[in-house]
Amino acid sequence: MADRRKLAAGNWKMNGTAAALSEVSALAGLRRGTTCEILLCPPTTLIERMARATEGTNIAVGGQDCHWAENGAHTGDVSAEMLKDAGATYVITGHSERRADHGESDEMVRRKTEAAWAAGLAVILCVGETLSEREASNTIDIIKGQLAGSVPDQATGHNLVVAYEPVWAIGTGKVPSTDQIGEVHDVIRVQLEKRFGPGVGRSVRLLYGGSVKPANAAEIFAVENVDGALVGGASLKAPDFDGIIKALDA
């Protein structure tokens, strides 16, 4: 992990208006000395304002999703180039809520990831199993399949971060055991090394996502091959996200 900079990424999902930008200012004040990379992914309506608010700080801004097309007749969608233009440096692709609520396939996630890279954005690509898949002991097969289908061939440690987020743990308060987290992260690492070689495979950062809180963060971050977290609700308030970053910094 020594050669992979730790990353604390906050996904605000469909939360936040202009008033919430005060939390960003508060977080910047709390985390001036951190060695971690900090990323916030607000709703699209806040990206440009958040990018301005974080100028001169150690907080980066990202989008939560993008379309694979550069432009066109796609009402309600946002292209990767638009995100870049608004001040984003990252985008999330393949989040389980997109896969489940919008029927996004591995192929769609791959195309979105390729579009993001073409626009100069780094990608946090999400993989994870449902509760029924976990209970049927299909987790590893699901993860391997999602990696194979979603990750494009041009992956590097600079343009790709992979987040393991078991669907059943997102927003539920349920968290896999550290053994379960470790097993999946080890599988992801091995699959990346097999496909891209040890250099790239070992340079891609792996995040855990799913009900990460200040109270459980240290235990999760102690697991091998966990390089940080993709945080939902706990990233909305500066003190909560700060507690997670402190655990990652330790």
Write phi, then psi, for 139 (nearest 5 degrees). -55, -50
Burial profile 239-249: b = 16 or more Cβ within 10 angstroms, e = fewer:
ebbbbbbbbbe
Catalytic one of 37, 81, 129, 165? 165
> Where do the DSSP E strands lie in 111-204?
122-127, 160-164
Asked if 95 is an active-site residue, the reply is yes
Q: ∠ at Cα 226 (177, 139), nearest 5°? A: 50
How many angstroms separate the first and last alpha carbons of the chain? 13
Give bridge partners of residue 206 from the DSSP assignment: 162
- By three-state DSSP, how is residue 203 classified? helix
Asked if 48 is an active-site residue, the reply is no
Catalytic one of 95, 104, 129, 185? 95
The catalytic site residues sit at 95, 165
